[in-house]
A and B are shown apart, each in its own frame.
Chain A
Amino acid sequence: DTGVSQNPRHKITKRGQNVTFRCDPISEHNRLYWYRQTLGQGPEFLTYFQNEAQLEKSRLLSDRFSAERPKGSFSTLEIQRTEQGDSAMYLCASSLRPRGRGGTGMIVAETQYFGPGTRLLVL
Chain B
Amino acid sequence: QKEVEQDPGPLSVPEGAIVSLNCTYSNSAFQYFMWYRQYSRKGPELLMYTYSSGNKEDGRFTAQVDKSSKYISLFIRDSQPSDSATYLCAMSDDRGSTLGRLYFGRGTQLTVWP
Task: Show the binding face of A for B, using Cβ within 8 Å.
Answer: 4, 33, 35, 40-45, 48, 56, 58, 91, 93, 95, 97-98, 100-101, 106-117, 119
Interface string of B69-85 (1 = CB under 8 A from A): 00000000000000000
Instruction: Say whether B102 contacts A112, CB under 8 Å.
Output: yes
Min C-beta distance of A67 to chain B, whole Å? 14
Q: What 8 pairs across the A-B complex have the smallest Cβ distances?
A: A42-B104, A114-B43, A45-B101, A42-B106, A114-B44, A116-B43, A41-B106, A43-B104
User: Scoring B residues 25 to 50 as 1 if CB is less than 8 Å from chain A, else 0, what string do you get?
Assistant: 00000001000100001111110010
Contact B44 A107 (CB under 8 A): no
* Contact across chains for B101 and A109 when beta carbons are under 8 A apart: no
Tell me, rounded to whole Å, the shortest Cβ–Cβ distance linking B65 to chain A: 13
The reply to whether A42 and B107 form a contact with Cβ atoms under 8 Å apart is: yes
Residue of B nearest to A95 (CB): B99
B113 to A: closest C-beta gap in Å: 21
Query: Is residue B98 within 8 Å, beta carbon to beta carbon, of the partner chain?
Result: yes
Contact of B101 with A33 in the complex, beta carbons under 8 Å: yes
User: Chain A residues near B105 (CB, 8 Å)?
Assistant: 42
Chain B residues within 8 Å of A41, by CB: 106-107
CA distance A108 to B49 in the complex (A): 11
- A97 to B8: give the CA distance in the assembly, Å: 32
Instruction: Tell me which residues across on chain A come within 8 A of B102, comparing CB atoms.
Output: 33, 35, 43, 45, 112
By a CB distance below 8 angstroms, the chain A residues around B42 are: 116-117
Docked CA distance A108–B103 (Å): 19
B21 lies within 8 A of chain A by Cβ: no
- Bound complex: CA of A44 vs CA of B102, how far in Å? 8
Q: What are 29 A-B contacts defined by CB distance under 8 Å?
A: A40-B8, A41-B106, A42-B104, A42-B106, A45-B101, A45-B102, A56-B100, A56-B101, A58-B101, A91-B43, A91-B44, A97-B97, A100-B97, A106-B51, A107-B51, A108-B97, A109-B51, A109-B97, A109-B98, A109-B99, A111-B46, A112-B46, A112-B99, A112-B102, A113-B46, A114-B36, A114-B45, A115-B43, A119-B41
